[in-house]
Amino acid sequence: MKRNKTLRMFFTYAVVLLWAFIVLFPFYWLLTTSLKIPLAVSRGPTYFPGIDFTPTFEHWVYLFDEQRASTLRHFRNSLIAATGSTILAVIIGAMAGYGLSRFSYYWKGLKWRNENIAFWIISNRFLPPALFVVPFLILYSRLDLLDTHFGLIVIYTMFNIPFAVWIMRDFFNSLPGDLEESALVDGATRWQAFMRIVLPLSAPGLVAVAIFSFVFSWNEFLYALMLTNFDAITIPVLIAGQNNTRGVEWWFISALTLFAVAPVVLIGLFLERYIASGLLAGAVKG
């Protein structure tokens, strides 16, 4: 029995350490590659800065000095698109989630009740984005929304809403209604009760929604590639573009990639518990 337990522990550690290595090594490789001179990269793999190659910061200097304007502009574009759609998704998602949790709806024509409406909302999330390529191309070029921050914010909000509604509905379902009830009895309007009592209690749900919306918008590629061409280009499109501009410069791409994933990876490191709870609400209870 005792031996069995030791063996199991050994096996567990072997598995998690191996996987941790598989997860972390690529990031380490990005970091070291960003510190290598081009010749050192093309000569074949070297592993330890200062031991089998001499580290240099020239690519990072290039990224933040020579390329400063371009780097910051794309970073700003990503930030605007992601933040804008996050704010909208949180507001719209919280409102709809609250509605679906506290009121009962009945759409006569479709004979849909709350469950059907919620299911229809989440099903939008799983439609292939490729379906929208053509209509959005035509629509955006007619409305002059191509290559604008606003255009990206609108489409990302559309993609973020289903998950936002789903998570918030689940969150409000687990939040007892007593407090709002007493506020309503005391003469507060429904809107006041929502804003002053419900929302402040919903921070964990709102944070989860904000994380998902932000990360999705930050990482999104297909629409950013399709709907932007200069002014509003986001970080993923900038990185993908490194493929052909001047040949693949791995040292520079590594620095740029690390810089690009830093915000979302930091979110993952520090807000892990919200992500887990949000995913659970989104996937399991559905």
Partner 1 sequence: MSGTREDRIMKRVFLSPAIAMLLLFSIFPLFWSLGTSFTDIQRGGSTTLREAQATEDERVGFLGLGFSITGQNYARMSSDSRLFATARNTIFYVFVGVVIQYVIGFSLALALNQPFWGRNIFRVIFLLPMMTTPVAAGYIGRMMFDSVRSPLADLIQSIPGWFGSDAYVTIPWLTTGAWARATIVLIDSWQWIPFMTLLLLAGLQAVPKELYEAAQVDGATIWQSFWRITFPILLPISVTVILIRGLEIFKIIDIIMVTTGGGPGSATESLTMYIFKTALTFGNYAYAAAISYVLLVLVVVFSTIFLSLARGVSARATNVGE
Q: Which helix (H) or strand (E) holds 132?
A: none
Longest dimension (CA), the chain: 75
Instruction: CB nearer to partner 1: give 35 or 41.
Output: 41
Nearer to partner 1 (CB atom), residue 41 or residue 58: 41
**DSSP structural state of residue 125:** G
Residue 108 beta carbon to partner 1: minimum distance, rounded to whole angstroms: 14
How near is the Cβ of 156 to partner 1 at its closest, in Å? 10
Smallest gap from Cβ 153 to partner 1, in A, equals 12
Angle ∠(157,162,168) on CA atoms, nearest 5 = 105
The C-alpha atoms of residue 237 and residue 81 are separated, in whole angstroms, by: 13
* CB of 121 vs partner 1, minimal distance in Å: 7
Supply angle C-alpha 35, 37, 40, rounded to 5: 105
User: How many angstroms separate the CA atoms of 190 and 183, rounded?
Assistant: 9
Residue 269, both tokens: 């490191």
- Residue 61 or residue 280: which is nearer to partner 1 going by CB? 280
Question: Would you say 60 or 194 has its CB closer to partner 1?
Answer: 194
